Amino acid sequence: MIGDGHKGKLVDLRSDTVTRPSEGMRRAMAAAELGDDVFGDDPTVNRLQAYAAELLGFEQALLFPSGTQSNLAALMSHCGRGDEYLVGQDAHTYRFEAGGGAVLGSIQPQPIANRPDGTMDLADVEAAIKPDDPHFARTRLLALENTIGGKAVPRSYIENALQLAKKKGLSTHLDGARIFNAAVKLGVPAKELCRGFDSVSVCLSKGLGAPAGTLLLGKADFIAKALRARKMLGGAMRQAGVLAAAGLYALEHNIERLAEDHANAERLAKGLRDAGYAVEGPHTNMVFVKVPPGFADHLVNNEVLVLAGPRLRLVTHLDAGAAAVDRALAAARSFAGKPA
């Protein structure tokens, strides 16, 4: 554990969730006009929700404290007890959200293998759809993720997946926690990548740099269901405009600049490769690297925070820019016995 004495000197590549609100964002939060969002009268929350709905092409948006809760509320709004959703084996919703759909929604997940590019083979998806038969759970929903493991999923694939879902009468949800990374990488508006989904969940607290907050988007009747689920899950907040102001600031200032994070990840990947490491990616702002034992400890001892493991994920972000990449590369080179 790194103590507080290190604050400010550390390079933190564990995730893009570690960013601290910038001065401008803090000013916007301090100046936010507030109300009680449970009564629907926090003007800053309402402004954020309207702004996001317009930006991403949906009737309505709803602010949640976290992406996990937004995804769960979406599952619970699309599916009921004994229903099933189809989801990638590597998808956050399935793998990293404590099985919430099953635990709290009585919704059965049907995981499907993800291919190396993050997509699922649509033939596998189709084969997993259960017939209407009392032996089976009712297959109701197809859930995708973009980016997934940092990989941007192109519109052409989404189109085919949505077509299949439509043909089979399934609803569709997109975990677009990092949809703006995908949009910037693919050079298309995020709206384009969201088009056709029944619901999309978009995080403000990852590459966009807000301290918390996720928006769930959909049609008005879907959002009405999600509002009830949010209440049930304990996610209805009061003067949430403080967070909404950060979210608005993030959407207004921090989307295009994601290209910088991607460029920094490129340089990090190249530097690690040049130093002899087996590198995968970068995929948008994420670099994956196979490392020998002791590597993570060496970086941490050099004040570069990473999550230990044989396949490290290094993530660039607002608070880990070009200088952070230099520091990480210097530490990686010294571990490999190369000149700094």
Ligand X SMILES: Cc1ncc(COP(=O)(O)O)c(C=O)c1O
Binding residues for ligand X, rule: CB under 6 A, are 17, 66-68, 71, 92, 145, 175, 177, 203, 205, 214
Q: Which residues contact 20 (CB under 8 A, 6 or more apart)?
A: 211, 319
In whole angstroms, the minimum distance from the beta carbon of 205 to ligand X comes to 6
SS3 299: helix
Residue 216 or 248: the one with the smaller Cβ distance to ligand X is 216
**DSSP, residue by residue, 246-271:** HHHHHHHHSSTTHHHHHHHHHHHHHH
Report the residue number, 45 or 243, with the smaller CB distance to ligand X.
Answer: 243
Residue among 71 and 108 whose Cβ is closer to ligand X: 71
Query: Judged by CB, which is closer to ligand X: 150, or 271?
Result: 150
CA distance 199 to 195: 10
CB of 111 to ligand X, least distance (A): 15
Strands (DSSP E) contained in the chain are 11-12, 60-64, 83-88, 108-112, 138-145, 171-175, 199-203, 214-218, 278-283, 286-290, 304-305, 311-315
- For the bound state, the minimum distance from the C-beta of residue 302 to ligand X, rounded and expressed in Å, comes to 25
* Residue 128 CB neighbours (<10 A): 15
- CB 158 to ligand X: min, Å: 16
Pick the closer one to ligand X by CB: 66 or 239: 66
Min dist CB 178 to ligand X, Å, is 6
For ligand X, give the closer residue by CB, 67 or 241: 67
> In this structure, how many other beta carbons lie within 10 angstroms of the beta carbon of residue 309?
11
Give the nearest distance from C-beta 131 to ligand X in angstroms: 31
